[in-house]
């Protein structure tokens, strides 16, 4: 693709040439009309002068001598040093009453077989030349005056005018193109400066651009680039945090797995080997949960808040999520319970992300509930907010630890936990614009409440 300067220059010059061409055509037609009018006026004026001469009160003898002198003078047109080549392109003829030949005429006049009978202007062609004639009757002398000129006189004048107009226009257009090229380059200099600054930045530099002074047209571009840099920086920060979290959490389980494997290999009897293999399977299960939750966290974080969510029915989302978990809950020997208040529960929210948060809360409740315990999920509207509550019958959490349970990898007194479940829930709910809180139930167990604005 061509540069902005070239694209702008070509379009400006094309528009300028098109506009000037239209103006030139208009001027050509207007000039031609005006030139025709001026030359026609000259023809009529010359005819009036001849009419005045013919009407002079002289006797017939003197009049014949006058005509003879006219003809002798006109026969020298174009051959004298003082004159003009166009004299031969101008002509007139004067006929008297009943005269078979003109009384006065110029040698360059076209040979007319008879005096014209219709007065006024008219065009005709004689021996390949186009003529413009004017006929003026002379009633007092019973004669006719014909005055004409070849049209190439007019065409030559029009051509000269157009040449004298077009040549400066073409030269001026070239000069104007050079000026426009320089002006466009000056106008695009801030954009070039921005490109140079971006090109000179280090590949790892993600600091926002701060170009001043900056034209108002480039401010949205700088803002968009800074938003993109911030998103890239946030993405890299999440990636580094994910790698650090994974390395931190997997280092110890992998060391434990290696130890159990070594114990199994060094076992002196089958009972010790089976015991070591049991520990090994438990460590594999825990590491599997860690990997699963890490991948869930990495998948959920980037997509939250990146698009406008459609309105969904919270009751339907909660019901479908619990239906997926019910077989697993029953297999663990526990009883799920769902309580949804009547009313409209529609809300613009990411249903998939909310489902992941609810799955983590229910899984956490199952892990901490005693056998045959009850897991209760309830959805209700409290004022201008929706509240989704997950309750269990476990031991609850010490009040001193409630503020730390949302930290990553905090899983005290839970050897099978990865410490990421509640961290995932907190991340999702924060991005969805809601709140999450934990509280110990008076009857025993823990209540996890998700709260969202109803509007």
Determine the 3-state secondary structure of 144 from DSSP: strand
> Do residues 113 and 93 touch, judged by C-beta distance below 8 A?
no
Measured CA distances, 336 to 7, 155, 322, 361 (Å) = 68, 104, 8, 13
Determine the 3-state secondary structure of 385 from DSSP: strand
**Structure-derived torsion over alpha carbons of residues 58, 63, 67, 73, reported in degrees to the nearest 10:** -60
Nearest to 365 by CA among 432, 422, 292: 422
pLDDT of residue 53: 75
Nearest to 201 by CA among 234, 237, 226, 235: 226
Distance CA 398, CA 393 (A): 15
| Both tokens assigned to 241 | 């945090």
All domains of the chain, ordered by start, with CATH?
4-162 (no CATH), 204-303 (1.10.287), 308-453 (3.30.565.10)
Task: Print pLDDT tens along the chain (455 aa).
Answer: 467 777 777 888 888 888 878 887 887 788 788 888 888 888 888 888 878 777 776 666 666 676 666 666 666 655 555 556 666 677 888 887 766 677 777 777 787 777 787 889 988 888 888 888 899 888 776 788 888 888 887 788 777 877 777 778 778 888 888 888 888 888 777 877 877 878 778 777 778 887 777 777 778 888 888 888 888 888 788 777 767 666 655 665 677 778 878 888 888 888 888 888 888 887 787 677 667 766 766 666 555 555 567 888 999 989 988 888 888 888 888 888 999 988 888 888 888 778 878 888 888 888 888 888 889 999 998 888 899 999 988 888 877 666 666 665 455 455 444 456 677 788 788 888 888 888 888 888 888 888 988 87
pLDDT of residue 297: 62
Distance CA 22, CA 439 (A): 83
Please compute, for residue 102, the number of CA atoms within 13 A of its CA located in the half-sphere on the CB side. 23
Nearest to 94 by CA among 130, 57, 142, 127: 142
pLDDT of residue 389: 92
Record the pTM. Answer: 0.44
Determine the 3-state secondary structure of 418 from DSSP: coil
Report whether the peptide linkage leading into residue 213 is cis, meaning its omega lies within 30 degrees of zero: yes
Distance CA 199, CA 224 (A): 17
DSSP assignment of 291-348 equals: HHHHHHHHHHHHHTTSSPPPEEEHHHHHHHHHHHHHHHHHHTT-EEEEEE-SS--EEE
φ, ψ of residue 156 in degrees (nearest 5): -65, -40
Longest dimension (CA), the chain: 165
φ, ψ of residue 310 in degrees (nearest 5): -75, 165
Task: Sort residue 433 into left (φ over 0), alpha (ψ -120 to 50) or beta.
Answer: left
The residues, any chain, with a CB within 8 Å of residue 300's CB and separated by 6 or more, are 353, 356, 424, 427, 428
Distance CA 135, CA 191 (A): 71
Determine the 3-state secondary structure of 248 from DSSP: helix
């Amino acid at each position: 693709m061509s540069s902005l300067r070239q694209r702008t220059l070509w379009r400006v010059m094309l528009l300028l040439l098109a506009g000037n061409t239209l103006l030139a055509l208009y001027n050509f037609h207007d000039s031609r009309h005006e030139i025709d009018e001026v030359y026609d006026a000259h023809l009529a004026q010359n005819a009036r002068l001849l009419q005045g001469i013919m009407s002079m009160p002289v006797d017939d003898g003197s009049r014949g001598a006058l005509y003879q002198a006219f003809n002798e003078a006109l026969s020298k047109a174009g051959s004298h040093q003082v004159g003009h080549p166009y004299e031969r392109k101008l002509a007139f003829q004067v006929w008297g009453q009943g005269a078979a030949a003109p009384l006065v005429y110029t040698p360059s006049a076209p040979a007319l077989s008879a005096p014209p009978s219709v007065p006024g202007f008219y065009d005709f062609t004689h021996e390949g030349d186009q003529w413009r004639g004017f006929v003026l009757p002379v009633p007092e002398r019973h004669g006719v005056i014909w005055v004409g000129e070849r049209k190439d006189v007019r065409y030559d004048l029009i051509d000269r005018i157009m040449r004298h107009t077009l040549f400066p226009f073409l030269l001026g257009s070239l000069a104007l193109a050079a000026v426009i090229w320089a002006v466009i380059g000056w106008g695009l200099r801030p954009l070039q400066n921005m490109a140079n600054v971006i090109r000179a930045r280090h590949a790892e530099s993600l600091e926002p651009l701060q170009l001043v002074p900056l034209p108002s047209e480039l401010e949205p571009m700088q803002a968009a680039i800074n938003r993109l840099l911030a998103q890239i920086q946030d993405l890299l920060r999440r990636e580094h945090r994910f790698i650090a979290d994974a390395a931190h959490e997997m280092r110890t389980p992998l060391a434990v797995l290696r130890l159990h494997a070594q114990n199994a290999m060094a076992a002196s009897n089958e009972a010790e080997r089976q015991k070591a293999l049991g520990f090994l399977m438990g460590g594999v299960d825990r590491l599997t949960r860690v990997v699963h939750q890490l991948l869930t966290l990495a998948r959920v974080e980037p997509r939250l808040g990146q698009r406008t969510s459609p309105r969904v029915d919270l009751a339907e989302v909660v019901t479908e999520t619990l239906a997926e978990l019910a077989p697993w809950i029953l297999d663990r020997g526990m009883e799920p319970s769902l309580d949804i208040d009547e009313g409209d529960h529609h809300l613009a929210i990411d249903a998939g992300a909310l489902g992941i948060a609810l799955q983590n809360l229910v899984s956490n409740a199952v892990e901490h509930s005693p056998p045959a315990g009850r897991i209760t999920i309830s959805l209700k509207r409290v004022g201008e907010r929706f509240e989704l509550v997950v309750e269990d019958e476990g031991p609850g959490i010490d009040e001193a630890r409630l503020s730390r349970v949302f930290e990553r990898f905090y899983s005290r007194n839970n050897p099978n936990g990865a410490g990421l479940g509640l961290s995932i829930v907190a991340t999702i709910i924060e991005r969805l614009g809601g709140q999450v809180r934990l509280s110990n139930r008076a009857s025993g167990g823990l209540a996890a409440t998700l709260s969202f604005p109803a509007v």
